[in-house]
Structure 1
Amino acid sequence: MTPRERELNPEILAEIARHPGTILAGSIYAVVEAQRLAAARQLARAGLWIHADVITDDRGHRGVDLSLVHTLAEQRVGPLDVHVIAPEPELGGLIEEISAWQVDRVTFPFESCPDPAAVADTVERIRASGAAAWLAVAPATELAAVRPYFELLDGLLVMLIEPGSTGTADLTLTAKAGQTPPALPAGVDGGVDADNLAACLRAGADYVVSGRALLSAGDLAS
């Protein structure tokens, strides 16, 4: 075991191990840019998913660079989930570019889709590339708004904080993860740590994204 591998939070790993079938992903956005490739490889060695936030918004956030996503896909570094956080005008182009790299999963925001046709079209384009299509739901979005799309999706990602931000997870939102049909997996993302992970799993999360708490050592992004 290398020194970098020991940086993965043992409490989080132990809790996940007590729930067979639950998938844990590490958010490489949580580490500084120069360390993201190393963090991705570390996660892959540990048998975990790599969650890469590609962010384009008006709040000055800079997510994982597309060139790194391309490198990870090209080198087949672990299962790769690319979470595109972008407004509607830019979403389609990013989805098109990322899908061409044959990643394992593309997650996109419900709030950036102007109508039902946009959701269906985005899912179709993602699936055509061989990737799974997951829909992310922001904290303020009621689950009732996305329920009509359940049959189209491969999974639902419940955001416990605003996408692209940092803060304390709102655990009341985890209830959304337990309200999907049995055939539709649901995940949680945003502020997940060793203290609240058990609550997320009890609520029904099949997929858990953790950033700073999982990659607990080293230079973390501010």
Structure 2
Amino acid sequence: MAWIGPAALNTELEDKARHAGIVLAGSVIAVPANQRDGLTERLLNARHWVHADMIAGRYLGQNGVTVEELLRLAGRAGHRLDAHLMVDNVVETIGLLPQDIGRITIQYPAVDAIEEAMAHARPKARSVWIALDNPTAPELSRALACGPDGLLAMLTPPGKAGHAADLRRLDTIKSAAGTQLPFGVDGGVNEENFDMLHKAGVVYAVAGRALVRAACPAPPSNRPINKAIP
């Protein structure tokens, strides 16, 4: 099947992020696997980050990137790659990642040994964030005690597509981070809620289908096919 051009980016959302001083990351799983390399180049050329979700275990709802894909993306995006691990076997998965990528984001609660996961992630990435999905007070305290470089608030259920952003999920993390720890958002980010995210103090925003539009299949041609003349 032929495709018309690479995946397109939403310039309105890009402009909002630029004016707000928010780092924008494009989720590569918003497009089919055969378009992800092209999308990565578009994101890097626009000076955005590349956000790659690995999804398995309790978070399996939509397909994430494979280890092979992540290794290839790391070769392209390097220090602007954010590997978001929504998996149960976090420590084992971290061992498969390449050295010196931009960021590893560990989904929590996902594994009891969050401290062990953080220790394994540190040598692999320039920064390590923890993503939180409506955390309880003890979960939040434990995450903060690990000394992450930032917190990522999940505005939709992690690993699940088709949900609208619930901005109330940001409140607890915003209060915990205060002015000492950068925090970002993932899930349901779009032009309509971006101004509210800016006012909340968000510095990093992951956007999927609101930022990225997959290339469309070329329409079938009605022209007759010219057969080769012997």
Identity %: 30
8 Å CA contact retained: 2:109, 2:139: no
- Deviations along 1:9-33, one digit per CA (max 9) or x if unpaired, are 111111111122x211000011111
Cα separation, partners in 2 of 1:148 and 1:91, compared to 1, 3 Å: closer
State the match for 1:97 in structure 2: 96
Q: Which shows bigger deviation, 67-76 or 40-49?
A: 67-76
SS at match of 2:109: helix
TM-score (normalised: structure 1):
0.86
**1:68 Cα deviation (Å)?**
1.5
Q: Which moved more, 1:195-204 or 1:38-47?
A: 195-204
Counterpart amino acid of residue 49 in structure 1: W
Q: Check the 8 A contact 1:177/1:187 in 2, yes or no.
A: no
- Which of 111, 114, 126 in structure 2 is aligned with 1:113? 111
Q: CA deviation at 1:170?
A: 0.6
Aligned to 2:228: none
Further displaced range: 142-151 or 44-53: 142-151
- Structure 1: gaps (5+ residues): none
How far apart, CA to CA, are the structure 1 residues paired with 2:31 and 2:108? 26
Q: Unaligned 5+ residue runs, structure 2? A: 218-230
Query: Normalising by structure 2, what TM-score?
Result: 0.83
Separation in structure 2 between the aligned mates of residue 50 and residue 150 of structure 1, nearest angstrom: 25
RMSD: 2.1
**Structure 1, residues 147-194: CA drift from partner, whole Å, max 9, x if none?**
343251111010011111121111211223422132211010001111
| 1:40 CA displacement | 1.0
CA contact (8 A) 1:133 1:155 kept: yes
Question: Aligned partners of 1:46 and 1:71: how far apart in 2?
Answer: 20
> What does 1:59-98 correspond to in 2, within 5 Å?
59=60, 61-76=62-77, 79-87=80-88, 90-98=89-97
The Cα shift of 1:35 comes to 0.7
Partner of 1:194: 191
